[in-house]
Amino acid sequence: MKLSCAIIDDEPLAVELMESYARKPPFLELRASFGSGVAACETLREHPVDLLFCDIQMPGLNGMELSRMLPEETRVIFTTAFSQYAVEGFRVRAIDYLLKPVSYADFLGAANKALEWFEMKRRAEGNAPAGECRPQSIFVKTEYRLQQIELDRIDYIEGLKDYVKIHVDNEPHPVLSLMSLKSLEEQLPADRFVRIHRSYIIQPSKMQAIERNRVVFGKEYLPISGNYRQPFYEFLASHSLLF
């Protein structure tokens, strides 16, 4: 598998170093280098790459701001001299971050992490045309690693501001991931999962009962809010779960 990549840094020597690194791994294909986020923005939006090695502190448009403007398919590895940016990088779904000065060993480790992410994503989505091969699992980032979760094991998902809690069969604790409920909802097959509240997405085939506008999962009672009540019951009817 080949990953197309680009480099952004306002320090010419840093760009030169990262270019030399990017040309070494056989799975990386260097497409472009830029000296600022402003110079890169339009090009990368029109011609996206798989992976972007991006400095954070840049004049005009910093790396964090730029990353939010890029297409969803582009993943980012940040380079920075300041470790406090790691948490913010996690919030914009960065694959990794590298502290300057960047060694080739650290660069290669982050690049391999990106390769693993893309390979797992491809396996999850499948290579066959839509309708022939349906994803059976999702990958979520938790505790600085990607965790595979089988869709069949998900009971419900709870949104907590910037986090989600994924409640899985026979697990004592939910899987915690730093992402929005909306972004996770977009990854889930719409014919298996349905939203019942601004804070809850459920897999109806796993629920035990519906009681007084609440969905029952074992000892947990999840509210069905007014805005989602009709779509929820329409979902049940269309999937022969309501008689």
Does residue 85 surpass a pLDDT of 60? no
Report the distance separating Cα 178 and Cα 162, nearest Å: 6
Instruction: Name the pLDDT band for 93 (thresholds 50, 70, 90).
Output: low
Query: How far is residue 190's CA from residue 224's CA, in Å, rounded to a whole number?
Result: 18
Span 23-81, pLDDT tens digits = 999 999 999 999 999 999 999 999 999 999 999 889 889 888 898 898 888 999 999 88
In this structure, are residues 174 and 168 in contact, taking their beta carbons and an 8 Å threshold? yes
**pLDDT for res 53:** 96
CA distances from 213 to 128, 180, 226, 233 (A): 40, 25, 9, 11
pLDDT value for 24: 95
How far is residue 113's CA from residue 173's CA, in Å, rounded to a whole number?
Answer: 26
Query: Considering only CA atoms, which of 21, 44, 17 is closest in space to residue 32?
Result: 44
Q: Omega into 25 within 30° of 0, i.e. cis?
A: no
> Which residues does residue 97 pair with via DSSP β-bridges, in sequence order?
78
8 A C-beta contact, residue 189 and residue 204: no
Give the range with max mean pLDDT: 51-60, 122-131, 231-240: 51-60
Please name each of the domains of the chain with its CATH number.
3-125 (3.40.50.2300), 137-238 (2.40.50.1020)
Q: Which pLDDT value is given to residue 90?
A: 43
Ranges assigned E (strand) in the chain: 3-8, 28-34, 51-55, 75-80, 96-99, 137-142, 145-150, 154-160, 163-168, 175-177, 194-197, 200-202, 209-210, 214-217, 220-223
pLDDT at 104 over 80: yes
